[in-house]
Amino acid sequence: MKDDIHGYIAEINKVEVKTKDDLELFRIRFLGKKGIIPALFAGMKEIEPAQRKDTGLLLNALKNRVQEKIDEAKTILDKTGDKGVEKPDLTMPVGFRETGSLHPLTIVRNEIVRIFERLGFSIAEGPEIEDDWYNFTALNFVPEHPARDMQDTFFIGRDPDIMLRTHTSSVQIRFMEKTKPPIRVILPGRVFRNEAISARAHCIFHQIEGLYVDEDVSFADLKQTLYFFATELFGPETRIRFRPSYFPFTEPSAEMDISCFICGGKGCRVCKNSGWVEILGCGMVDPNVLDNCNIDSSKYTGFAFGLGIERTAMLKYQINDIRLFFENDIRFLKQFAGEY
Ligand code: DAH
């Protein structure tokens, strides 16, 4: 009889009770009047007295196991109805949610800001609507400078004094008016120029301005800072070179190129076979600019630089049309999910 009981226990452990009908059949098979359990109890009379106790315990265990199985199945069937215990359908499509992403311009701006933060630069912002003093005059633009022209600048109303800023250099002036050296600051923001929109140019874009003013700041400091920046952003193999240039607010002025990170300088489509790509404008802050902000130019020197975020992002991600940044086409934006 013990062997029989062991056999039933094994069977109960294996059997699947999926529907209410299954459950009823199972119950009748074991607990019905003519079922297995009553029959086994009846058979106890035949068992030798020496075996009776062990067998009785085992039989009770079987009965409990049957009851347990019935209770388990009931609980599940009560929840799922008479459809039975459903196994999950692993072929069902998952209702996953798409995650949002940062805009590629935000990603690049954050990355640039973080690099300069590591060098001890802080971050500040200024207004998008400016007057002539901050956007031009204090930055040493002579009155007849062509950049003031209607062609470039969005003036607001008829007042030639009020405009959308054409560059973030205006924030240099605002910052130096309020803060005295030592100054180490990064000034990101949106700028506006009255330009025809094309794959290369837009009337709204973003810049990051950098400004460092202290005693004994030299062009070597400028180079080393920008070298660090370039290798952090574009990789340790990156080389830099400076070409003389002109900006009213810096003297001397330069444009900085980086060795093409696509071809490593061998020449490709991105660098137009030159091996170099232009990345930013920079220079030593013109003493007139410091004086305009009441900073003693006989005591302090400084460097400044400004770069376009769109241009940098286009290089970094090899995007060939600036308009993509502003169209909000989800197929474009989606590709940056997961970056930060
Ligand atoms: N403001 C310049 C532009 O929009 C960029 C620039 C050049 C900024 C040289 C600077 C600088 O601070 O030193 O083209």
pLDDT tens per residue across span 20-51: 888 999 999 999 999 999 999 999 888 888 88
Residue 86, pLDDT score: 63
Residue 109, pLDDT score: 97
End of a domain among 47, 80, 113? 80
Q: Look at ligand 1, atom 6, and give the residue with the nearest C-alpha.
A: 306
Residue 164 lies in a domain: yes
CA 207 to ligand 1 center in whole angstroms: 9
Res 95 pLDDT > 80: no
Q: Indicate the pLDDT class of residue 301, thresholds 50, 70 and 90.
A: very high
- Domain hosting residue 246, numbered range: 104-336
φ, ψ at 236 (rounded to 5°) = -65, -20
Res 85 pLDDT > 60: no
3-class SS of residue 232: helix
Res 158 pLDDT > 60: yes
Residue 150, pLDDT score: 74
Residue 263, pLDDT score: 85
> Is residue 327 located within the same domain as residue 192?
yes
Average pLDDT over residues 236-264: 94
CA 305 to ligand 1 center in whole angstroms: 6
Residue 189, pLDDT score: 98
Average pLDDT over residues 78-101: 74
> Is residue 184 located within the same domain as residue 326?
yes
CA 193 to ligand 1 center in whole angstroms: 14
> Is residue 205 located within the same domain as residue 277?
yes
Residue 83, pLDDT score: 58
Can you tell me the distance from the alpha carbon of 75 to that of 28, in angstroms, rounded to the nearest whole number?
Answer: 18
pTM of the model: 0.73
β-strands 183-192, 301-308: how paired? unpaired
Q: Indicate the pLDDT class of residue 148, thresholds 50, 70 and 90.
A: confident
> Is residue 122 located within the same domain as residue 219?
yes
Say which CATH number the domain at 227 has.
Answer: 3.30.930.10
Ligand 1, residues at Cβ distance < 6 Å: 167, 169, 209, 247, 250, 281-283, 304-306
CA 37 to ligand 1 center in whole angstroms: 93
CA 282 to ligand 1 center in whole angstroms: 6
> Is residue 166 located within the same domain as residue 65?
no
CA 102 to ligand 1 center in whole angstroms: 26
> Is residue 63 located within the same domain as residue 174?
no
Can you tell me the distance from the alpha carbon of 187 to that of 210, in angstroms, rounded to the nearest whole number?
Answer: 6
Two tokens, residue 302: 């400084």
Average pLDDT over residues 175-198: 96
3-class SS of residue 142: coil
> Is residue 176 located within the same domain as residue 319?
yes
> Is residue 53 located within the same domain as residue 124?
no
Q: Look at ligand 1, atom 7, and give the residue with the nearest C-alpha.
A: 281
Cα torsion angle, 281, 287, 289, 293, sign: positive
Q: Indicate the pLDDT class of residue 124, thresholds 50, 70 and 90.
A: very high
> Is residue 71 located within the same domain as residue 123?
no
> Is residue 127 located within the same domain as residue 42?
no
- Residue range 199-229, pLDDT digits in tens: 989 999 999 999 999 999 999 999 999 999 9
Choosing from 116, 136, 187, 209 the residue with most ligand 1 atoms within 8 A of its CB, the one to mutate for a pocket test is: 209
Choosing from 121, 134, 279, 282 the residue with most ligand 1 atoms within 8 A of its CB, the one to mutate for a pocket test is: 282
Can you tell me the distance from the alpha carbon of 322 to that of 329, in angstroms, rounded to the nearest whole number?
Answer: 13
Residue 97 lies in a domain: no
The HSE-up count of residue 243 (CA atoms within 13 Å, CB side) is 11
How remote is the C-alpha of 184 from its chain's centroid? 26
Quote the number of domains for the chain: 2
> Is residue 315 located within the same domain as residue 198?
yes
> Is residue 185 located within the same domain as residue 67?
no
Res 114 pLDDT > 80: yes
Question: Which atom of ligand 1 is nearest the CA belonging to 166?
Answer: 4
Res 140 pLDDT > 90: yes
Residue 93 lies in a domain: no
Q: Residue 240 CB: number of other CB atoms within 10 A? A: 18
Residue 99 lies in a domain: no
Residue 168 lies in a domain: yes
